[in-house]
Homo-oligomer: A and B are copies of this chain.
Amino acid sequence: MAEQVKLFGMWASPYSRRVELALKLKGIQYEYIEEDLSNKSPLLLKYNPVHKKIPVLVHNGKPIVESQVILEYIDETWKNNPILPQHPYDRAMARFWANFIEEKFMRTPWRAYVGTKEEQEQAREEGFELLKMLENELNGKDFFGGETIGYVDIFGFSLAVWHGVVREVFGVDLITENKFPVFLKWSRKFNEIDVVNECRPPVEKHIAYMRARIEAFKSATK
């Protein structure tokens, strides 16, 4: 039986983009289905009745949800071009740093740009400290995964994309060369990879989308 792989995603979602990146790194053919999150399809609700969220990977009719769970599934199912390292300790470290990016950078980065001056200051200081930790982890390596990109780099994908877009949207660059040379070197090298470029959301559209989201965020918190 031919493999049937479908991905339900949303073009600007870092969670579905990282699944696409993993599929492309493995060379897996898949059908992509774009979801309108303001009007979710019956299929999405059927495949993810608990959380009703993208991304959903459907492999031979069976749904897998949550990007971290999907990435582990992909790596266990298609063994070529491993995403996670082989040794249990290295795997644990990769999961640790992936969780770190997920927890520390995916939830409240807005505070560094919007809110009162004091809130911005505080969020920036915190962000700098966290980025320093990532820099230390990256130091001396091309990628988090070593010589090639791996699990942590796939999570870092959102950071690399986000950094460029946020700089455009706010006209402020918090991640400067003199502060974070290692991160920026990684980001440049990462952004040169073909499959990474294939997975990046179109820049202009992404900037417009971010501007609209920030406006919505600002009016909601007024």
Binding site for B on A (CB under 8 A): 50, 59, 62, 64-66, 68-70, 72-73, 76-77, 88-89, 91-92, 95-96, 99-100, 133
Contact = CB atoms under 8 A, between A and B. Distances in A.
Interface of A is mostly: helix
Contacts of A62: 89
A133 B95 contact: no
Contact of A99 (B59, B66, B88, B92): B66
Contact of A89 (B64, B91, B99): B64
A89 B66 contact: no
Q: Sort A-B residue pairs by CB-CB distance and give the 10 closest, nearest first.
A: A76-B88, A73-B92, A77-B88, A69-B95, A64-B92, A69-B92, A73-B88, A69-B96, A62-B89, A50-B133
Contacts of A96: 64-66, 69
A199 to B, nearest CB: 22
27 contacts: A50-B100, A50-B133, A59-B89, A62-B89, A64-B89, A64-B92, A64-B96, A65-B96, A66-B95, A66-B96, A66-B99, A68-B95, A69-B92, A69-B95, A69-B96, A69-B99, A70-B92, A72-B91, A72-B92, A72-B95, A73-B88, A73-B89, A73-B91, A73-B92, A76-B88, A76-B91, A77-B88
A174 to B, nearest CB: 21
A59 B87 CA distance: 14
Contacts of A92: 64, 69-70, 72-73
A139 to B, nearest CB: 15
Given A72-B95, A76-B88, A76-B91, 13 more contacts: A50-B133, A59-B89, A64-B89, A64-B92, A66-B99, A69-B92, A69-B96, A69-B99, A70-B92, A73-B88, A73-B89, A73-B92, A77-B88
